C-alpha cells in the first residue's frame, strides 16, 4: 500500500482550493462537490476522522481525479471502496450540517448515483425515441440482446439431480394415493358411524 499523500487542501465555498484552479468535471456530481464545500465551510467536518476528511477535501478540490486516483488519499485500493467511503463521509457531513443546508441538499439527492442521474424531460425522451426509430440495431446491440437471451436459458440438470427429482415426484404421488385411500375409507365409515349413533 502506497504512503498517504501529506498535503491536505483547504476547501472553500467557491469551488477553489488554496492551490488554485477552478473545479473541473469529474465522476463526482457537481451538486455533491458543492455540498461538500458548503459543509466544510459550515465546519460539519469536525467530527469526521482524518481519513474521511482528507478524502472529502481532495474529492471536492480535485474533482478531475477518478475514484481510483482518489484511493491513495484514503489508504484503499479500489474505486468501489472509495465510493463507499465518499457516501459515508457525505452522510456524516449531512448529519452535522445546519438545517438550512440539509433542506437545500436532501439526503436522497446526495445518495443518488450519478449513472442514474436526473430523469430526462418528456420532450427529451420523445426526441430520443424519434431519433432511434427505424434505425437498424448495431452489432453490439444485437450481441447484447443475444447474450440476454442466452443468460435466461436454464442450466441442464445433472443425471443425479434428475434422479432425485424423479424419486421425490414418486414419493409425492404415493403420498397423494395414500391420502385418497384414507379419505375413501373415512367416507365409507362415516355413514356406519352415524347409523350406530342412532
Q: Is residue 189 situated within a structural domain? A: yes
pLDDT in tens, 177-190: 988 888 888 777 76
Number of structural domains (the chain) is 2
pLDDT in tens, 126-143: 777 777 777 777 787 777
Does 122 share its domain with 184? no
What does the pLDDT read at residue 119?
Answer: 56
Taking the chain, what is the end-to-end CA distance rounded to the nearest angstrom?
92
Q: Which stretch of 49-53, 172-176, 194-198 has the lowest confidence by average pLDDT?
A: 194-198
DSSP, residue by residue, 153-181: SPPPPPHHHHHHHHHHHHHHHHHHHHHHH
Confidence tier at 12 by pLDDT (50, 70, 90): very low
Q: Is residue 101 situated within a structural domain? A: yes
Does 39 share its domain with 126? yes
Does 122 share its domain with 164? no
Q: What's the pTM value of the predicted model, to 2 decimals?
A: 0.46
What does the pLDDT read at residue 126?
Answer: 76
Percent of the chain with pLDDT over 70: 72
If we measure between CA atoms, which residue out of 14, 18, 67, 66 comes closest to residue 41? Answer: 14
Q: Is residue 138 situated within a structural domain? A: no
Confidence tier at 150 by pLDDT (50, 70, 90): low
Q: By residue range, what is the domain housing residue 198?
A: 160-198
Q: Is residue 22 situated within a structural domain? A: no
User: Quick check: helix, strand or coil at residue 187?
Assistant: helix
If we measure between CA atoms, which residue out of 70, 64, 76 comes closest to residue 2? Answer: 76
Does 113 share its domain with 181? no
Q: What are phi and psi of 16, to 5 degrees?
A: -120, 150
Does 112 share its domain with 45? yes
Amino acid at each position: 500500500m502506497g504512503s498517504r499523500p501529506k498535503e491536505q487542501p483547504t476547501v472553500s465555498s467557491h469551488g477553489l482550493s488554496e492551490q488554485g484552479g477552478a473545479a473541473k468535471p469529474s465522476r463526482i456530481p457537481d451538486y455533491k462537490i458543492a455540498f461538500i464545500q458548503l459543509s466544510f465551510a459550515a465546519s460539519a467536518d469536525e467530527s469526521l476522522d482524518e481519513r474521511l476528511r482528507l478524502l472529502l477535501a481532495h474529492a471536492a478540490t480535485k474533482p478531475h481525479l477518478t475514484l481510483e486516483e482518489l484511493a491513495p488519499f484514503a489508504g484503499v485500493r479500489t474505486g468501489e471502496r472509495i465510493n463507499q467511503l465518499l457516501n459515508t463521509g457525505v452522510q456524516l457531513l449531512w448529519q452535522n450540517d445546519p438545517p438550512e443546508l440539509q433542506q437545500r441538499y436532501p439526503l436522497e439527492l446526495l445518495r443518488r448515483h450519478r449513472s442514474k442521474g436526473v430523469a430526462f424531460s418528456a420532450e427529451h425522451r420523445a426526441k430520443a425515441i424519434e431519433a432511434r426509430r427505424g434505425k437498424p440495431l448495431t452489432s453490439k446491440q444485437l450481441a447484447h440482446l443475444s447474450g440476454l437471451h442466452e443468460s435466461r436459458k436454464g442450466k441442464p440438470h445433472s443425471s443425479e439431480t434428475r434422479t432425485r427429482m424423479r424419486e421425490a415426484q414418486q414419493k409425492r404421488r404415493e403420498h397423494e394415493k395414500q391420502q385418497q385411500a384414507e379419505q375413501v375409507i373415512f367416507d365409507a365409515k362415516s355413514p356406519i358411524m352415524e347409523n350406530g349413533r342412532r
